[in-house]
Amino acid sequence: MKYFTKEWYELCQKTSFHLGLEEEKQAETFSEEYFQQLYDKELNSWLNLQEEVASIMKNETVSTNNNNEYEPFNRDKAIEQFHDGFIYNQEYKKKEIPETILKQIADIRVFTLNKATRTVINAVAEFCEDNQRSVTATSENYRRYMEEASDTLDKDIYENFGFHDCTITKSFQKDMSLILLLNNSGGFTNIDEVTFKNFNIIKQEGSLEDSWWLYEEVYKVNDKYEFHVLFQNNKIGLADFIISAEQISFKSNKKTIYNPLN
């Protein structure tokens, strides 16, 4: 990837820490009592929401006579889920927020529950907004590249080669082609099969199957197409995949929607 790199994607995750933060004077100093009160309040709100959702699901299940879709509300399980989520968010913020800002936070637990001083909120907002500007600039640079390169690229290829939020269910080779089968239920395309013809894998990190498709780039190199993809792989995390091919074709529900060789 030349634009949508792993570093760029990780920066994308650091653009919203300020959202939801509320100014609170009690966040100026460390207080176990205040933290516990705040934690209990947020936990109770979470439990009420989960119980309400479970009740709605129960009513829908009864009305449709489908007992397989309903899971009764389990208070102990919900408490555990809230705690696990809280710990995960706390550790993530400790890792990703700059040390200069962390030093201004009296209690990272309170910050994780979205309470902070005005000074901290301003510092976090500035950090996130700087990151957002960098993220946006990269996206704009790629857009400009695509405008300039569009005369040399097949329009059907660069307009169809976009599978954000799809997952690869299967990959296999057939003759001189690499075929990817996609679950596009979470994506923004109706394409569910991609075939790279006369291909050469330039870079592959981890398995393609069960990888979540994040971003892609398209290039023309020495009369061949070069496709760059950033995946989220369950085993290794972010993963790069680069493949060159003489041609590419797309199918939707077994029907060919683009095949330059036909």
How much is the average pLDDT of 163-169? 96
pLDDT band for position 226 (50/70/90)?
very high
Rounded mean pLDDT of the chain?
93
The domains of the chain are located at 6-132, 155-258
Structure tokens at 58: 């129960």
Residues 14-37: pLDDT tens digits?
999 999 999 999 999 999 999 999
Per-residue confidence (pLDDT) for residue 59, from 0 to 100: 77
Per-residue confidence (pLDDT) for residue 69, from 0 to 100: 63
Per-residue confidence (pLDDT) for residue 254, from 0 to 100: 74
Quickly count: other Cβ atoms within 10 Å of residue 98's Cβ.
11
pLDDT band for position 66 (50/70/90)?
low
Predicted TM-score of the model (pTM): 0.84
How much is the average pLDDT of 183-209? 95
How much is the average pLDDT of 163-189? 95
Residues 106-149: pLDDT tens digits?
999 999 999 999 999 999 999 999 999 999 999 999 999 999 99
> In sequence order, which residues have a C-beta less than 8 Å from that of residue 205 and are 6 or more positions away?
231, 233, 236, 239, 240, 241
How much is the average pLDDT of 195-208? 96
> In sequence order, which residues have a C-beta less than 8 Å from that of residue 111 and are 6 or more positions away?
21, 27, 93, 105, 120
3 state SS for the chain: CCCCCHHHHHHHCCCCCCCCCEECHHHHCCCHHHHHHHHHHHHHHHHHHHHHHHHHHHHHHHHHCCHHHCCCCCHHHHHHHHHHHHHHHHHHHHHHCCHHHHCCCCCHHHHHCCEECHHHHHHHHHHHHHHHHHHHHHHHHHHHHHHHHCCCCCHHHHHHCCCCCCEEEEEEEECCEEEEEEECCCCCCCCCEEEEEEEEEEEECCCCCCCEEEEEEEEEECCEEEEEEEEEECCCEEEEEEEEEEEEEEEECCEEEECCCC
